[in-house]
Structure formats: C-alpha cells, structure tokens
Amino acid sequence: MTDNNQNNQNGSAAFISTIVETNKVWGLTKDETWATSSSAEFEDTEVILFWSMEEGAKACAEDDWQEYKPESITLVEFLENWCVGMYGDALLVGPNWNADLTGTEVEPLEIAMEVVNALKAKGKELEFTQYDSQQEFEEQVMEALEGGEEEA
C-alpha cells in the first residue's frame, strides 16, 4: 500500500509542476458537465478529475465518459473558481487519474496551497481576478485551511 501511496503523491507533484509550467488545467466535459467520480476514500463524496495534460484527459474519455471532450481552463480559474468552489461544496480534486480511473484524492485548498508554493518557488506571480494579489489568495486559503482559528 505504501508504494501505491507514493505513486499517488508523485502523480500529484507531477500535476502541480506541469500546471504551474503551462498555466493550464484539463478536465473532461460534456454539455457543461465535468467528469466526476465517487470517492474511494469517503462515502457520499464526489471527486472532480483534472489533468495536467490534454493526453491524460483523453485517455480517460471512454466507457461512461466516451462522449466527454478534453477542455482546458487557466490556472487562475482553476484556483479561484474550482478549488475555492469545490472546498465550499465539500468536493475533492482527483489530479492526473489514470485510465483505470484510480489516483489520489486531495482537498482542493491543499492543492491550491501546493500550487501557490510551487509558483513562489519558481518566482511566478499570477494575476488573479477575484483577489487583489496572489498573496491575498494565499492568505485566504491558509486561513480557511486553519479553520479560521485565532492564533494565541
């Protein structure tokens, strides 16, 4: 089980590294509906699947999703609209799931923080539309992750 967990962590790291480089995130859509899967870890929880490359999304467009097409969104849209919205809706992110529809399930704000940390490490600054700056976005995410607890 440890090897599988390590592979999932590597998949998440590769997802973050690539989307920070390309400023794009991919999903599968059909008529404004995005591909989701039931969580393997949490009962009654949905996972919205995202990929760092179009090819990864295409590889999963079969069976129930054969009529779905890869669609890209900007990294800013992914962070502001998807990660924040998914957090509010108690949904999980499934980064770079494989064609067997298995992969890691991550809290959306955890992914958002990892992306912000990767952006800072690369010296990249995104221009947000719903926040004054990347720093403000980061502060809001950190506050939400801490549960809004007051520091002593």
Residues 104 and 6: their CA atoms lie apart, in Å, by 10
Q: Residue 151 domain-assigned?
A: no
Q: Residue 23 domain-assigned?
A: yes
CA atoms within 13 A on the CB side of 97: 27
Residues 40 and 106: their CA atoms lie apart, in Å, by 12
Which residues, in sequence order, are CB contacts of 69 under 8 Å at separation 6+? 28, 29, 30, 61
Q: Residue 119 domain-assigned?
A: yes
- Domain residues for 120? 2-145
Q: Residue 54 domain-assigned?
A: yes
Q: Residue 152 domain-assigned?
A: no
Per-residue pLDDT of the chain (152 residues; tens, 9 = 90+): 333 344 445 568 999 999 999 999 999 999 989 999 999 999 999 999 999 999 999 999 988 889 999 999 999 999 999 999 999 999 999 999 988 888 999 999 999 999 999 999 999 999 999 999 999 999 999 999 998 544 43
Q: Residue 67 domain-assigned?
A: yes
Nearest residue to 86 via CA among 116, 49, 53: 49
Residue with tokens 């992110």: 93
- pTM for the model: 0.87
Domain count, the chain: 1
Residues 65 and 43: their CA atoms lie apart, in Å, by 22
Residues 139 and 122: their CA atoms lie apart, in Å, by 19
pLDDT at 46: 95
Q: Residue 74 domain-assigned?
A: yes
Q: Record the tokens describing residue 140, joined without a space.
A: 């809001």
